[in-house]
Structure 1
């Protein structure tokens, strides 16, 4: 059939085949398997580990993800048919390219770094949310405490105002009772100054004579 394998590296190989008239309206099957042993293996499709389907318009394909320093068998058939010996080629992969190994390590390191960064961002977001929630809760509790203190102050102010108003009302009532005393001398004055009772109290009027108040004072005493 004229199948050839070219550009072999540690991980890739290019296979080239001539076009088949029977595959004009179908596809090509590229089957390959590592560690090939012709004494123990057959050319049936079940013996191949991997299979790739390529459009009929193509006549070459690059096989990737191969293992370095490994013997492979590769076959090209039409419409997934069982291959024959003339449709297969055996080749050996080379050692892994240092540049490829370096790129693989870089990709691995980059993947680890990206994963770690995402995890750190998630943890930071969770911690930030927790801190904001705690601050909001403390602020709400503080505002509630201030509102409670303001209510207590208002109640105390109202109580003091009511007590002051009651005291003023009592004073006014006492003043009115003292003013209406018929004897002309206030009762509170007599109680505060008992010596005033020793001298007779007189009423100065044209129609009234002096009337001693000794009896009233003795009655109070």
Structure 2
């Protein structure tokens, strides 16, 4: 049939086949299997591990995800028919490509870096949330303390104001009482000793203003 396998690497291989007239309106089936042993295996479709379907317009296909340093058998048939020996080829994959190893290492390093970055971001977010929570709590406590202090100061100011007002009222009441009854002491003395009013009192220059006359004593009696 003229099937060839080219560009073999550790993980890929390209298979090329001539077009078949019977597959013009159908598809090609590419079957391959690793660790091939012609003495123990048949060419039945059930013996192949993997199968790929390719449109009839194509005459080549790149097989991927192969295992390095492995013997494969690859067959191309029309419409998933059981292949014959002239429709198959045996080939060996090469060692793993150094570029592929380098890419694998780069992908692994990139994955580790991304994972570490995500973990660091999560830890930083947790720490930032904790700091903000502590700051907000301290600020709230400080504001509550200031409000409590201001309330106490306001209460003290009100108490002082009330005491001062009471004292002022007492002073004003005492002053009004003294103004209305300037001779209060003499009147109380006269009331206690009514016989003192019977004697005539000769007012002196000093006691004229404070000692009442005889007529006032009789009025009180």
Q: TM-score, normalised by structure 2?
A: 0.79
Report how many residues are paired: 221
Render the CA deviation track for 1:106-149: whole Å, top value 9, x for unaligned.
22222222222222222222222222222222222222222222
Partner of 1:213: 213
Render the CA deviation track for 1:165-192: whole Å, top value 9, x for unaligned.
1111111111111221151779999999
Contact 1:203–1:210 (8 Å) recurs in 2: no
Contact 2:183–2:211 (8 Å) recurs in 1: no
Indicate how the Cα distance of structure 1 residues 118 and 51 shifts in structure 2: closer, same or farther if over 3 A, else same. Answer: farther
Separation of aligned partners in 2, 1:54 and 1:193: 144
Contact 1:34–1:72 (8 Å) recurs in 2: yes
Separation of aligned partners in 2, 1:148 and 1:13: 82
Separation of aligned partners in 1, 2:112 and 2:197: 111
Between 130-139 and 32-41, report the one with greater CA deviation. Answer: 130-139
Indicate how the Cα distance of structure 1 residues 129 and 103 shifts in structure 2: closer, same or farther if over 3 A, else same. Answer: same
Separation of aligned partners in 1, 2:196 and 2:209: 19
Partner of 2:51: 51
Partner of 2:86: 86
Q: Which runs of no fewer than 5 residues in structure 2 stay unpaired?
A: none
Displacement of 1:70 in angstroms is 0.6
Indicate how the Cα distance of structure 1 residues 202 and 9 shifts in structure 2: closer, same or farther if over 3 A, else same. Answer: farther
Render the CA deviation track for 1:74-116: whole Å, top value 9, x for unaligned.
1122233332222211100112222322222222222222222
Separation of aligned partners in 1, 2:123 and 2:192: 84
Q: TM-score, normalised by structure 1?
A: 0.79
Separation of aligned partners in 2, 1:212 and 1:66: 139
Contact 2:11–2:93 (8 Å) recurs in 1: yes
Indicate how the Cα distance of structure 1 residues 74 and 210 shifts in structure 2: closer, same or farther if over 3 A, else same. Answer: closer
| Runs of 4+ more than 4 Å apart | 184-221
Q: Which runs of no fewer than 5 residues in structure 1 stay unpaired?
A: none
Contact 1:17–1:60 (8 Å) recurs in 2: yes
Displacement of 1:5 in angstroms is 0.3
Contact 2:73–2:88 (8 Å) recurs in 1: yes
Contact 1:178–1:186 (8 Å) recurs in 2: no
Contact 2:186–2:210 (8 Å) recurs in 1: no
Contact 1:35–1:71 (8 Å) recurs in 2: yes
Partner of 2:15: 15
Indicate how the Cα distance of structure 1 residues 71 and 185 shifts in structure 2: closer, same or farther if over 3 A, else same. Answer: same
Cα root mean square deviation, aligned: 5.8
Note the 1:1-150 alignment, pairs <5 A.
1-150=1-150
Indicate how the Cα distance of structure 1 residues 24 and 212 shifts in structure 2: closer, same or farther if over 3 A, else same. Answer: same
